[in-house]
Amino acid sequence: MTQLIPAFDFHQVIVAPWSQDAAGTFPIVLMGFLVGAACGLVGTFLILRRMALVGDAISHSVLPGIAIAFLLTNSRGTLPMFIGALAAGIVTTLLIEIIHRKTRVKQDAAIGIAFTSLFAVGVILISLYASKIDLDQECVLYGEIGFIGLEEGITLGGINFSPQLIRMASVTLVVAALILIFYKELLVSSFDPALAFSVGINASVVHYSLMCVLSAVVVSAFESVGAILVIAMLILPGATGSLLSQRLPRVMGLAVLHAAMSSVMGLHLATWLDCSIAASMVVMGAFLFAFAWIFSPSQGIIQRFIRSKPKLDEPPADLPAAEKSAVG
Amino acid sequence: MDSKRTSEVLSVPTPQPPESAAEVPLEIHDLTVSYHKKPVLWGIDVVVPPGKLIGIVGPNGAGKSTLIKAAMGMLPVSSGWVKAFGKPVKESLTRIGYVPQRESVDWDFPVSVMDVVMMGRYGHLGLLRRPSRHDRQVVLECLDKVKMLPYANRQISNLSGGQQQRVFLARALAQESDLYFMDEPFAGVDAATEAAIVTLLHNLRDKGKTILVVHHDLPSARQYFDMLLLLNMRVVAFGETKTVFNYDLLQATYGGRLTILSEVADAVHARESGNGR
């Protein structure tokens, strides 16, 4: 009889990864955290700007960008990959805008058209030149975070910091720095683009810059978590953060915390079930989201249930709505 | 000098002598704006005098909001130009304050009342600068002027419609501008807030600021504004309220819309019976 769920061995699942396997565990968890933090910080603004779907779109359309860059330069070097992805991201953003503006197609449909077409082009390119391109489709879709720490890099304290890890760390730091530096521009153009204009901030420059940063983050996260799971990394941290706080700086702090927790918890889940590490991190991220949804002090299910009781004596909740309709 | 200009304000564009042009807060010349090749505003010519509270009224779809957005350079225009304080409007943005429609933003956004009002200071900060103590001081004073100081640290989704509108006004005050565009600041607010906003606008006007307000309600338009701009794709009339608020011009503005026409009749009637005041 095979067991559906492997037995939970505390030592093997919780202790071993941090004792005898620490040199292998640490880079993976760190990578998961760096990807989650960079994606989460950018994703918080995507959510606020109601552009979560654009993150989805860019994560897919990066594929043809990488494939074309690979075919042109015949290398998997960082720079061509970055430029290819960046170009693809900008093309996607422009394509969405053009379809949306020049036709009667609404924005959500325009997003659906733009990224699926580009993604399909990427799939064709990869399958056409599969022999030449060292990118297999499975890896592109789901990533392979387990291999991230293998390449020789800088060794510090017995832990090998592979070039991929160092690259991701720089990307995450740059993203954090950019958000810190341009916080007020991002804030006002997300909240009220019209006011942004009147205080001399060009909302479309902010928009395209954010799209560039998003493309850069997505392509960096690509190797480790792939095109599909990166969407979860973009949305889950910010969404969880915004359930727990109503102040943007705190939401972003919580998004980073979410990235750290889902990375660690995901690693243990993957060790226990012996399954995909990236997918486990996303599953734990979703679990944390559900946890926040239930227990949030301000908008959690439990809190709402508790608060809804004394409210029975108050006037019915539809009063403001009635007031609103009378005005309109 | 101000009073002299005031008396010659009427809709017809008059070429301004260059040295006094800097005094004109807003000059719109032959402005045409189209959406999908259909014109929504057509040949708008307006020279706005300083220190006036001006209502922009007209039926739904008359292009009132479009006019103020186009005047600020927010929309692409098919023809014409806009000058503010004698310079192209994009160069005068720091002297222009804006209050968008309340529904145009997401009030669930994770910011506090204070954060929103601070956005009004961003035009004075420039790139890379953080708000200083002076900016915080200005923000608190502006919140106090709209009686929202006790709410400074509230999350904005916990506010009523009237409170939200006061926050937007405080933000416009924090912009410390000389020319204001306000898009329906009275929409959906309680009576107390409406009265407070009117007082505030009159105070601003008395300090020499020029304020253009998109407004929906005809009877109150007559009471609130020094001048009215009657708009229906074109400028039907622009002048002192007591001059342009008459049946013929309002009918020309609102056309055959019967319900509005009766409202116009009521408003004119109210005006005539209230002449003694």
> In the A/B pair of chains, how many CB contacts fall below 8 A?
86
Facing residue for A247 by CB, picked from B94, B112, B161: B112
Q: How far is CA A209 from CA A53, A134, A205, A217, B173, in A?
A: 17, 30, 6, 12, 30
pLDDT band at A137 (very low <50, low <70, confident <90, very high): low
Residue B153 burial (CB count, 10 A): 10
Residue B22 burial (CB count, 10 A): 12
Q: Could you tell me whether strands B53-57 and B96-99 are parallel, antiparallel, or unpaired per DSSP bridges? A: unpaired
Q: Where are the domains of chain A?
A: 10-327
Residue B17 burial (CB count, 10 A): 7
Cβ <8 Å between A323 and B109:
no
A198 Cβ under 8 Å from any chain B Cβ: yes
Q: State the average pLDDT over residues B98-112.
A: 92
Burial class (CB in 10 A: 0-12, 13-18, 19+), B239: middle
Q: Where are the beta strands (DSSP E) in A66-178?
A: 154-156, 159-161
Mean pLDDT of chain B: 84
Q: Could you tell me which chain A residue has the CA closest to the CA of B122?
A: A199
Contact between B144 and B171 (Cβ < 8 Å): no
Among B59, B67, B100, B65, residue whose Cα is nearest residue B217:
B59
Which residue would you say has higher pLDDT here, A101 or B30?
B30
Nearest-angstrom CA–CA distance, A273 and A285: 17
Is it the case that residue A218 has pLDDT exceeding 60? yes
Residue with tokens 């153009």: A189
3-state secondary structure of B23: coil
Which residues are CB-contacts of B191 (< 8 A; sequence separation ≥ 6)?
none
CA angle B211, B212, B218 (to 5 degrees): 120
pLDDT band at B277 (very low <50, low <70, confident <90, very high): very low
End-to-end CA distance of chain B: 29
Question: For residue range A114-126, what is the model confidence (pLDDT) as tens digits?
Answer: 888 998 998 888 8
Facing residue for A194 by CB, picked from B98, B111, B155: B98
What percent of chain B is predicted at pLDDT more than 70? 84
DSSP string, A187-219: HHHHH-HHHHHHTT--HHHHHHHHHHHHHHHHH
Q: What pLDDT is recorded for position B12? A: 47
Helices (H), B100-160: 113-119, 122-125, 133-145
pLDDT band at A2 (very low <50, low <70, confident <90, very high): low
Contact between B19 and B69 (Cβ < 8 Å): no
Quote the tokens at residue B187. 């929409």
Least confident of B65-69, B101-105, B124-128: B124-128
Sheet bearing B87-88, strands edge to edge: B38-48, B26-35, B79-84, B87-88
pLDDT band at A316 (very low <50, low <70, confident <90, very high): very low
Cβ <8 Å between B119 and A187:
yes
Facing residue for B110 by CB, picked from A196, A247, A328: A247
A window 58-117, beta carbon within 8 A of B: none
pTM of full prediction above 0.90: no
3-state secondary structure of B9: coil
Among B4, B7, B11, residue whose Cα is nearest residue B231:
B11
Facing residue for A195 by CB, picked from B100, B130, B160: B100
Nearest-angstrom CA–CA distance, A24 and A147: 10
Mean pLDDT of chain A: 83
Q: State the average pLDDT over residues A24-30.
A: 88
A window 236-265, beta carbon within 8 A of B: 242, 245-248, 250-251
Q: Taking CB atoms and an 8 Å cutoff, what residues of chain B touch A192?
A: 100, 104-105, 119
End-to-end CA distance of chain A: 67
B214 to chain A, minimum CA–CA distance in Å?
15
Q: Could you tell me which chain B residue has the CA closest to the CA of A326?
A: B188
Residue B94 burial (CB count, 10 A): 16
Cβ <8 Å between B98 and A190:
no
Give chain B's length. Answer: 277
pLDDT band at A133 (very low <50, low <70, confident <90, very high): low
Topology of domain A10-327, CATH = ABC transporter involved in vitamin B12 uptake, BtuC (1.10.3470)
Q: Which of A288-297, A308-317, B248-257 has the highest mean pLDDT?
A: A288-297
Cβ <8 Å between B171 and A327:
no
Q: Which helix (H) or strand (E) holds B227?
A: strand B227-232
B152 Cβ under 8 Å from any chain A Cβ: no
Burial class (CB in 10 A: 0-12, 13-18, 19+), B258: exposed
Using DSSP, how many helices (H) and how many strands (E) does chain B show?
12, 10
Q: State the average pLDDT over residues A271-275.
A: 89
Q: Taking CB atoms and an 8 Å cutoff, what residues of chain B touch A181?
A: 128
Q: What pLDDT is recorded for position A173? A: 96
Is it the case that residue A236 has pLDDT exceeding 70? yes
CA B128 to chain centre: 30
Is it the case that residue B182 has pLDDT exceeding 60? yes
Q: State the average pLDDT over residues B234-242.
A: 89
Quote the tokens at residue A30. 């760190």
Q: Taking CB atoms and an 8 Å cutoff, what residues of chain B touch A251?
A: 110
Q: Taking CB atoms and an 8 Å cutoff, what residues of chain A touch B116?
A: 191
Q: State the average pLDDT over residues A209-214.
A: 90
DSSP string, A265-312: HHHHHHHHHT--HHHHHHHHHHHHHHHHHHH-TTT-HHHHHHHHTGGG
CA angle B266, B267, B268 (to 5 degrees): 95
Among A26, A63, A40, A5, residue whose Cα is nearest residue A237:
A40
pLDDT band at A138 (very low <50, low <70, confident <90, very high): low
Beta bridge partners of B155: B112
Q: What pLDDT is recorded for position A285? A: 96
Contact between B55 and B224 (Cβ < 8 Å): yes
Is it the case that residue A282 has pLDDT exceeding 90? yes
pLDDT band at A127 (very low <50, low <70, confident <90, very high): confident
Contact between A267 and A18 (Cβ < 8 Å): no
Contact between A46 and A52 (Cβ < 8 Å): yes
Facing residue for A245 by CB, picked from B98, B110, B115: B110
Contact between A162 and A31 (Cβ < 8 Å): no
Contact between B82 and B31 (Cβ < 8 Å): yes
A44 to chain B, minimum CA–CA distance in Å?
11
Is it the case that residue B115 has pLDDT exceeding 60? yes
pLDDT band at A259 (very low <50, low <70, confident <90, very high): very high
Q: Taking CB atoms and an 8 Å cutoff, what residues of chain A touch B175?
A: 198-199
